[in-house]
Structure 1
């Protein structure tokens, strides 16, 4: 009988790929976790954007009615934690800007912002808290 030679370190019938499936499974699992984390960060960013939109809109509406303090309180309550709220009144226009970090620093450089604009209602002064006389338009002439 002839002697059968084997390569050193190989078992008969082995392919030499022992453990390759384990490594591939570990890499696939890590990739899956990364994709899931990015998807959750995206959902959090969209949620933060919607909250910023709601906060800006509500603050602009309340400020246009002459309730600037309530507008600021509502914006801070509705906006994500740590959001910056800016309310500006120029003439008879109100602008509100809300900016926030959507995922608490996990995605550096990604901020969400929302802006809302409104016109002061009649009787509300550009200096909020001061009521001005309502604008009364002349009555239309009677048609004979």
Structure 2
């Protein structure tokens, strides 16, 4: 079994990768919106808020994320992620995963909860849409 997530900015082209995985028989959860995001998102949004409590603002535009790599992960966070991924984690598919931009925000704890996870970090080249109107 492989667990896959797509991380990247919203409106950064992650939809193309989500649709490619679906076409390749990777179960990406259900229901999905047109962008391939797993719905409903509320539990993941709340998980972001839980993680945010452990990030320290150090002034200006600087934040300290270092505690996220070693501190105990709160049960509240794990419960929210499991709630959000309930259908994905219960699926019997050999390859399964999910996409929602907020996964990027909680990635330090996602890789600790799911150490075998495969992730696709999608970075869009800004030159491909610089002339977009």
Query: TM-score by structure 1 length?
Result: 0.27
Structure with bigger RCO (C-alpha 8 Å, 6+ apart):
2
Greater Cα radius of gyration, structure 1 or 2:
1
Query: TM-score by structure 2 length?
Result: 0.28
